[in-house]
Chain A
Amino acid sequence: MKQGKIENSEPDTMTATENLSAERTPVISVKNLVKKFGNFVANDHLTFDVFKGEIFGFLGANGAGKTTAMRILCGLSSPTSGELMVSGYDVYKQAELIKRNIGYMSQKFSLYEDMTVAENIRFYAGIYGLSVRQRKEKEQVMLQKLNLESVRDKLIASLPLGWKQKLAFSIALLHDPKIIFLDEPTGGVDPITRRQFWDLIYEAAAEGKTIFVTTHYMDEAEYCSRVSIMVDGRIAALDTPDVLKKQFGADNMNGVFLQLARSATRTD
C-alpha cells in the first residue's frame, strides 16, 4: 500500500486529531512504561496519552501485555520504570488516590448474585464512602435511568446478562470517577443490548469522563475515538480507527489487527 500518500491525502482527519490532542489535557499520560517479570518484558517502552472525554481502545492479542499495562494504570501493580500520571496523580506514589478517581468494570465483574439490585448499589456506594442520603439518591437516579425500578428487589442472579452489564457499568460510575476502565465489556450479549451499553458509554464520554477499553474483539474497537494496538509488549499502532484503516488499507479494524498481529512472535 502507498501508505505515505494516503496519509497525505487525509490532512483533514490528521489535523483534526492533532487539534484534539493539542487543546485537551491528557488524563492518562504514559512515557516509556516498562514492566518486566524477571527476563520477560511484558510492556516495552509504552508511550501514549489519553485525553479527557475520549473513548480509548487498548487492543492486543492474548498475552500482548494489555492486561499488565491496565493493571499498572489502575494502581494495582507497579511499573519497572517509566513516567506515569493517571488523573493527575503519580502511579508510584499516589496509587491510593488514583484508585479513588477511577472506576473499573470487567466482563467478569460480578455484582453479588445473591443480593438484590438495590442492595448491590447501596453496597458499592458504601464502599466509596457515600453518605446514606447520597446512597439513596444515587440508587433512585440509577434505577430510573436504567429502567430497572421494577426489578430493584430482584436478585442479580435472576437478571439477563445485558441488564447486569448495564448495572455493573453504572455502579462503576457511582463515585463519579474521572476515568473508567472497561475490561472486555460487551461479550456475549445480543446486538441491541450491546448498543444500549455503548449508549451508556457514549453518554459518560459526552459528560467528560474518559473511557479506557481493553479488548481483543476488533469490532469493539470501531466504537472508540482512538485505538492503540499492542503487539509483543509494544504499541504497534495508535490512531483513530479511520486513519488506521486507511493506513493499512483494511475495511475494518479486524483487517488492521490481522496485519499487525501476524508479525507477533509471542504466543503466550
Chain B
Amino acid sequence: MIKITNICKSYNNTQALQGISLEVNDGELFGLIGPDGAGKTTLMRILMTLLIQDEGQAEMNGLDVVKDYKRIRQLVGYMPGRFSLYQDLTVEENLSFFATVFGTTIEENYELIRDIYVQIEPFKNRLAGKLSGGMKQKLALSCALIHKPEILVLDEPTTGVDAVSRKEFWDMLKKLQKQGITILVSTPYMDEAGLCDRVALMQEGEVLSIDTPARIVENYSSTLLAARSDEMHRLIEDLRHWEKIDSAYAFGQFAHVTPKDDEMEAVELEQYLMHKKHNNLQVHEIAPGIEDVFMALMSGDRSY
C-alpha cells in the first residue's frame, strides 16, 4: 500500500505540492485526476524516490521513500509520462534491456506481461520509434512490468493516445489489478475517473477530494440543469447574464447550469430562455459528473 502524509514540495518559488495526504490500499486501482500543473507528476516522482519532499512522509509497502529508496526501486514498476522507451531499439530489445537492468529475463516473467505483449509481439523487430502511440504505450507498460512489481505507478499513460488504445489500456490495468498489483495512475481526463476504484481530484498542488467516483458525485449537493439551443454562444451569454444563475459552462452539446437557488426547476430556466427567443430549446435536470464536481470544487479559489 501507499501511504502519503502531508507532503509538501516547492520548486523555486512555486509550491508544487501543498500538504498532500492520501492512502492507496493494497490491490487498489487509484487515480490522481487533475490538469497539467496539479502536481501529479511531482507526487509520483516523490513516490518513485526520484525527488525528495520538503516536508511530510511517504511510504510504499511500508518502506520510506527517502531512507529505503533502494529497496523501493526493486518493488515498484514505473511508467513516466511520454512513454520513455529507446526509439532506436526494437520492441524486443527494449523489453530485454529493461529485463536485464532488473536482473531478470523476458521468459521468467512472461506470464505477467503475456496479455499485453502478445498484441505487440508481431512487431517485435520493429524499432520502438516507429510504433503507433497505442503500441508504444503497451510496450512501455510491458517494460514497467517486466520485474513483477508489487506496485505500479503510471504517469499519464493515456495522454496522446486515441480512444481505442485508451480503452484497451484501462482493460489491461483492470486485469493487472486482479493479479494483486497495487496501481497508482494519473490522468488529466475526468472521464477516466470512473474507471478507478478511488480517485483524488487534484488542482494546483492540493487535493480537492478523495473518494470513490460514485461517492464524489453523490456528495455534490447543488442542483444541476442542462440546456441547449441552436445558438450555443448566445445561450451561454444569456445564462451568465441572468442573476439567478451561479455558473454556466459548455458541456458538449449542452450547457451545464448551476442556479443560485437549488430549488430552481428546469421549467423556470426554460421559460427564461424562451423569453430570450432561443430555438429548439431543451432544458432538463441532470445528475452531475466528475467534471461538474471538479469545476465546482475548483471555482472557490479562482482568480481569473
**Chain A residues in contact with chain B, CB under 8 A?**
16, 60-63, 147, 160-161, 163, 187-193, 195, 198-199, 202-203, 205-206, 216-219, 222-223, 241-242, 252, 254, 257-258, 261-262, 264, 267-268
| CB–CB B130/A188 < 8 A | no
Chain B residue numbers with a CB within 8 Å of A63 are 132
Task: Mark out the residues of chain B between 257 and 304 whose CB falls within 8 Å of any chain A CB in the assembled complex.
Answer: 280, 291, 294-295, 298-299, 302, 304
Q: How big is the B interface, by class?
A: 35 or more
A202 and B37 alpha carbons, distance in the complex (Å):
26
**Do the beta carbons of B37 and A161 come within 8 Å of each other?**
yes
Q: Say whether B212 faces chain A, with CB atoms less than 8 Å apart.
A: no
B35, B159, B160: the one within 8 Å of A190 (CB): B35
A206: contacting residue among B36, B189, B231, B252, CB under 8 A:
B231
- Encoded as 1 (CB less than 8 Å from any A CB) or 0, chain B from 145 to 185 comes to 00000000000000111111101000000000000000000
The reply to whether B159 and A202 contact each other, CB–CB distance below 8 Å, is no
Q: Is B215 part of the contact surface with A, judged by Cβ < 8 Å? A: no
- Check A62–B132 contact: CB distance below 8 A: yes
Partner of B163, one of A147, A161, A258: A258
Could you tell me the distance between the alpha carbons of A63 and B253 in the complex, rounded to whole angstroms? 27
* CB pair B37 A160 closer than 8 Å: yes
Q: How far is the CA of A220 from the CA of B4 in the complex (A)?
A: 34
Residue B34 interfacial (CB < 8 Å) = yes
Interface of chain B: mostly helix, strand, loop or mixed: mixed
- Chain B residues, CB < 8 A from A252: 252
Q: Say whether A189 contacts B36, CB under 8 Å.
A: yes
Q: Are A267 and B132 in contact (CB under 8 A)?
A: yes
Q: Contacts A16-B280, A192-B295, A192-B302: A161 and B36 contacting too (C-beta < 8 A)?
A: yes
A147 to B304, CA, bound (A): 8
Q: How many Å lie between the Cα of A222 and that of B256 in the bound state? A: 13
Do A254 and B34 touch (CB < 8 A)?
Answer: no
27 residue pairs bridging A and B, Cβ less than 8 Å apart: A16-B280, A61-B162, A61-B163, A61-B165, A187-B159, A187-B188, A188-B35, A190-B35, A190-B203, A192-B249, A192-B295, A192-B302, A193-B35, A195-B295, A199-B233, A203-B233, A205-B232, A205-B233, A223-B253, A252-B252, A254-B163, A254-B191, A258-B164, A261-B163, A264-B164, A267-B134, A267-B135
Residue of B nearest to A184 (CB): B160
Contact at A202–B299, with CB atoms within 8 Å? no
Give every chain B residue within 8 A of A163 (Cβ-Cβ): 304
**CB–CB A191/B164 < 8 A:** no
Given A198-B250, A202-B250; A216-B132 close (CB under 8 Å): no
C-alpha gap A22/B163 in the complex (Å): 33
Q: With a CB–CB cut-off of 8 A, which chain B residues contact A193?
A: 35
Q: Which residues of A contact B134 (CB under 8 A)?
A: 62, 267
Nearest-neighbor residue (CB-CB) of B203 within chain A:
A190
Nearest CB of chain B from residue A145's CB, rounded to whole Å: 13
Report which of A195, A242, A254, A268 forms a contact with B131, defined as CB distance below 8 A: A268
Considering the complex, give the chain B residue whose CB is closest to the CB of A253. Answer: B252
Please give, as numbers and ranges, the residues of chain A lying within 8 Å of B189 by CB-CB distance: 217, 219
**Cβ contact of B190, chosen from A191, A205, A218, cutoff 8 A:** A191
Contact B298 A191 (CB under 8 A): yes
Given contacts A190-B34, A219-B191, contact A258 B250 (CB under 8 A): no
A242 → chain B closest CB, angstroms:
7
- Using CB atoms, name the residue of chain A closest to B34: A190
Indicate if B71 sits at the interface (CB-CB under 8 A).
no
Given contacts A62-B134, A202-B233, A223-B252, contact A192 B162 (CB under 8 A): no
Which residues does chain B contribute within 8 Å of A202, judged by CB atoms? 232-233, 236, 250
- The CA-CA distance from A63 to B203 in the complex, in Å, is 33
Docked CA distance A267–B165 (Å)? 11
Give CA–CA (A260, B35) in the complex, Å: 29
Q: In the complex, which residue of chain A has the Cβ closest to the Cβ of B279?
A: A16
Minimum CB–CB distance for B94 against chain A, Å: 17
Q: How far is the CB of A129 from chain B (nearest CB, A)?
A: 29
Q: A202-B232, A262-B164 are in contact. Are A188 and B132 (CB under 8 A)?
A: no
- Interface digits, B109-148 against A, CB 8 Å rule (1 contact, 0 not)? 0000000000000000000001111110000000000000
CB-contact partner of A192 in B37, B165, B232, B299, under 8 A: B299
The docked-state distance in angstroms from the alpha carbon of A66 to that of B131 is 18
